[in-house]
Structure 1
Amino acid sequence: MTARTTRTTRLDDGVRSALGALSAAAKRGLGDPALAELVQIRASQLNHCAFCLDMHLGIARKEGVGERQLDLLAAWEEAEGVFDARERAALALTEAVTVLTEGFVPDEVYEEAARHFDADRLAHLLALITAINSWNRLMVGRRIPPGSTQW
């Protein structure tokens, strides 16, 4: 077994504050705290960020997201009747922005999201997806464990 490289837990206070402010503003502007948590959890699942999953699952429960939705979030596309059309559009956009499989967000995914969110809320949803992806990369890149207070 090879030894694991020690990674930094350091994060510049200015970076933390700026990214935290972006996350908070995006969540506030989206205007749906439960949906915001579903989006952040789904991105964190895709990015394998245990720290963010741990944090956002706890927040989601406090925001009233049901266990059934949390249990089936990884398979939301197949979980008919569990997520409404608006949630499904937000989750599809989350996956498209997070993974960028085709190198861009497909028009049909964006257009479906635009049918469920006005321009301001859609802008905040995109900002929230961008913010959580940044947080995921900061935490995964440094291997910050779930529940850590040193990050």
Structure 2
Amino acid sequence: MTQRYDPYKGEQNYVQGMVKTEEALAASPLDAKLRHLIKLRVSQINGCAYCVTMHLKEARGDGETQQRLDHLAVWREVEDFTPAERAALNWAELLTHLPQTRELDSAFGALEKHFNAEEIRAINFSIVMINAWNRLAVGAHGRHLSADAPLALAS
């Protein structure tokens, strides 16, 4: 696969702000395992092989089970995920597929049952950020490097 362009190199470092947002999200009250599930599910939807590989590795490193990772693509059909995780995954899918906005009110109500305002903000920004990273990687025709150094490219 030939890379179309390198989104990480150029006169302006557009990625630097994204990296700072990711650092803030890592320090947020949102559970790391849930952040990984959100990022992985959105990356699956967007077809970003690089991000899927990276987030699988990170999730395993933070103790996520292989069964849950295997079932993430079919999370609605299995009982491996908590009601809070289901609400967050549903929200992630809705914000990734924006044409389904008519469902946002009920989905947000489900989210509010499990998360406080700061956690909801972190969930929203996690979804926004992974969609942005996916679009950078897919648009560039993927820079499928080792998942060991994903954000080092931004510095």
Whether TM exceeds 0.5 here: the answer is yes
Runs of 5+ unmatched residues, structure 1: none
Correspondence for 2:4: 7
What's the offset of the Cα at 1:145?
Answer: 4.0
What letter corresponds to residue 91 of structure 2 in structure 1?
L
Correspondence for 2:97: 99
Residues 1-151 of structure 1: pairs in structure 2 closer than 5 A: 6-12=3-9, 14-80=13-79, 82-103=80-101, 106-148=104-146
Q: Alpha carbon RMSD of aligned pairs, Å?
A: 2.0
What's the offset of the Cα at 1:31?
Answer: 2.9
Moved over 4 A (4+): 148-151
In the alignment of these two chains, the number of paired residues is 147
How many Å separate the matches in 1 of 2:131 and 2:34?
Answer: 16
Contact 2:2 2:141 in 1 (8 A): no
What's the offset of the Cα at 1:10?
Answer: 3.5
What letter corresponds to residue 71 of structure 2 in structure 1?
L
Identity of aligned residues (%): 33
How many Å separate the matches in 2 of 1:6 and 1:27?
Answer: 29
SS at match of 1:14: coil
SS at match of 1:7: coil
